[in-house]
Copies of this chain bind each other. A is one copy, B any other.
Amino acid sequence: MELEKVDILVEDIVKPENLVYRRPSTLIDVDMHYCPGCGHSTVHKIFMEVVEEMGIQHDIIGVSPVGCSVFAYNYMDVDMQQAAHGRACAVATGIKRMLPDKYVFTYQGDGDLAAIGGNETLHAANRGENFLVIFINNAVYGMTSGQMAPTTIEGMVSTTSPYGRDTKTMGYPLKISELLAPLPGVAYVTRQAVNTVQNVRRAKKALQRALEYQKMGLGFCLVEIVSNCPSNWKMTPLDSNKFVQEVLIPYYPLGDIKVPEVKK
């Protein structure tokens, strides 16, 4: 009888007309190599949802970094280029200047964007290059397995700060969003997260807004996402999201840092 009821319900509900969520068609139907619970997967998913909903799959070119998300091109069903470590913003500049009518985005980790790629990021922002930078801040070098990133917070342990980051000798955690926001070429800067259902919803909206601003030609848009790295943090996915909430977000507060006035 229990069983039966279930059957009825399922039969009843699992029908196309009742569908309320499915994997976006723009996300290629393969396993993602990311670790269980990794924010990269989540961001890939919601960004591809945005691309699908805006119907721009054929009008967007992406740049993947060197980092765990180097393989973004295996999952995002759009034209993509893989950039040398840190140079995504230079590569995107080359693309956007050649194809000004297309949407262009880079997807970069914190080591890629803020360490080796600091200059390309700074100058693309300062030139007001009209593309979107999706900046995954997980406070660590994931792919190379756990070294300190520019964003690693004070005292945080990593394989190259085994006794905790000592700001006296290793420098301070870089707040890229706050650093770039004041530049006149920068149109939109926001910091989001994907560690809770509500944050995922907000992050998705931010990504969509950024693409709309690009359409309007407003300039450089940066969407920072405070993310996790359960594997290198040596935490369960659930704990890692808790760490994001309780430790990272207080240091990297969420919300819009710069928003363009849009004349309607």
Contact = CB atoms under 8 A, between A and B. Distances in A.
A150 interface: yes
A127 B170 contact: yes
Give the copy number: 2
Interface residues of A, number: 23
A262 B126 CA distance: 34
A87 to B, nearest CB: 12
Contact of A185 (B126, B172, B182, B185): B172
Nearest to A120: B119
Contacts of A37: none
A255 interface: no
Majority DSSP secondary structure for residues of A touching B? helix
Contacts of A168: 128
A178 B182 contact: yes
A171 B185 contact: yes
A130 to B, nearest CB: 10
14 contacts: A122-B122, A126-B171, A126-B174, A127-B170, A127-B171, A128-B167, A128-B168, A128-B172, A167-B185, A171-B185, A172-B184, A178-B182, A179-B179, A179-B183
Given A119-B122, A178-B182, 9 more contacts: A118-B123, A119-B119, A123-B171, A126-B171, A127-B170, A128-B172, A167-B185, A171-B185, A172-B185
